[in-house]
Chain A
């Protein structure tokens, strides 16, 4: 299996060889910044296209197919338009916060994006409390949403933001607890260690029922975290027109739009990292030949493949279910997911303590 740290090491050595360490570090920062932003944009555009195609297929229609081959350039066209669309300045709003909010949202998702291990050695941030950091930065997004709703001076926006706040705070618990379950199992918070320790089987399979339950809870809570249907209350089209981003236009709205898709990607990526082994190929203990063949598939492909499956499942949710009402949403969390999660956590501890896992 190809280790990407070879490449990064080579670049690092090269830069250090010809430049002073300060400059080398600086250039590395810039390089990584460019890479991460490019990847961010490309993934978001691809996801927008995929979402539109997938939802079309669920709805017995074709979806974009006229702009470029199979409509592949559709989201590129959207981007061009959005970039030069007017950004409307609104009276009676809190100018500073109003303009700040989309950047907070996008910054939160970029930070979280940076933690994700894409492949073997293809890692930007990897430190011993990686998963903790990821949860922390991804929750900054809700601040952006609240700011957007508050500063817009629009009643729909405010209701949307308040809903979003209630929703995020509730479901953050479930996400945290289900991740905690896996952290107990893996014994580490470092993402690379978590992935490495799944070499002999993904946690979803090794962790018995508690891992499976944690996975399902994570899926539900993760969908809620991204504000996607059936949990899209903060921007519920048919209730609040466009919710917290009602007043945003042009690229400011574009940031919300991109962040929504990137959050989808991040949630799916974390799910595949924690439960499905991340970039780790499918290994079945004992089947050495099979395992070797699996190793030939590059690790980023494994990662993206698993993430794609997770994304499809979340799109499937969105395009099947009706939207929940706010009280149902909270009931689901506090009456069902949270108790299940707590019991699940205890179960996992028992399993780990008595070593009855695979």
Chain B
């Protein structure tokens, strides 16, 4: 190593360090990019397509569209959904399957959307909620059909 390469290497190295320091200092005074959750909770809006948790869509009359066919349960790759139904015979002697409990384990859902995509009646949807952390495991197994809800009449 001769003296010129020694010095050249030294000063080039020094220069590159100074360039780096200049850049970081510039960023030091730049506006920060942090979003302040939870302070911004009021204004925070998820993207429409974001999948937070599965819901059974209920209309204002507390009616849903699930006929308890079980296609979603069948399509779910890891048994996240359990559809409990019962057969009810009405006055005319016609037997229909009625949804009793729509169980959904939020703690094992992989959000693959196969349930919503294969549902023949469009009864399911993902909502963009994300504040779901809890202290007890059992609270993550949700019952999706609301209390007293019933099947919406087809029009």
Contacts and interface: CB of A to CB of B under 8 A. Distances in A.
Contact of A320 (B10, B24, B30, B32): B24
29 contacts: A57-B28, A57-B32, A58-B24, A58-B27, A58-B28, A59-B27, A60-B30, A60-B32, A60-B33, A60-B34, A61-B32, A61-B33, A61-B34, A62-B32, A62-B34, A62-B36, A316-B21, A316-B24, A316-B25, A317-B21, A319-B24, A320-B17, A320-B20, A320-B21, A320-B23, A320-B24, A321-B17, A321-B20, A336-B10
Contacts of A319: 24
A57 B24 CA distance: 9
B33 to A, nearest CB: 5
Interface string B4-44: 00000010000001001101110110101110100000000
Contacts, number: 30
Given A57-B28, A60-B34, 12 more contacts: A57-B32, A59-B27, A60-B27, A60-B30, A60-B33, A61-B32, A61-B34, A316-B21, A316-B25, A317-B21, A320-B20, A320-B24
Interface residues of B, number: 14
Interface string A57-78: 1111110000000000000000
Sort chain A's interface into a size bin. Answer: 10 to 19
Contacts of A336: 10
Nearest to B22: A320
Interface of B: 10, 17, 20-21, 23-25, 27-28, 30, 32-34, 36
Contacts of A316: 21, 24-25
A306 B36 CA distance: 34
Interface in A302-358: 316-317, 319-321, 336
A321 B17 CA distance: 8
Contacts of A59: 27
Counting from the closest, the 6 A-B pairs by CB-CB distance are A320-B24, A62-B34, A61-B34, A320-B20, A57-B28, A60-B33
Contacts of B34: 60-62
A61 B28 CA distance: 9
Contacts of A57: 28, 32
B76 to A, nearest CB: 39
Nearest to B29: A57
Contacts of B23: 320
Contacts of B17: 320-321
A73 B66 CA distance: 53
Contacts of B10: 336
B15 to A, nearest CB: 14
Interface in A25-67: 57-62
A321 B24 CA distance: 10
Contacts of B21: 316-317, 320
Nearest to A322: B20
A249 to B, nearest CB: 26
Contacts of B28: 57-58
Nearest to B36: A62
A317 to B, nearest CB: 8
A59 B17 CA distance: 17
A324 to B, nearest CB: 11
A316 B20 CA distance: 10
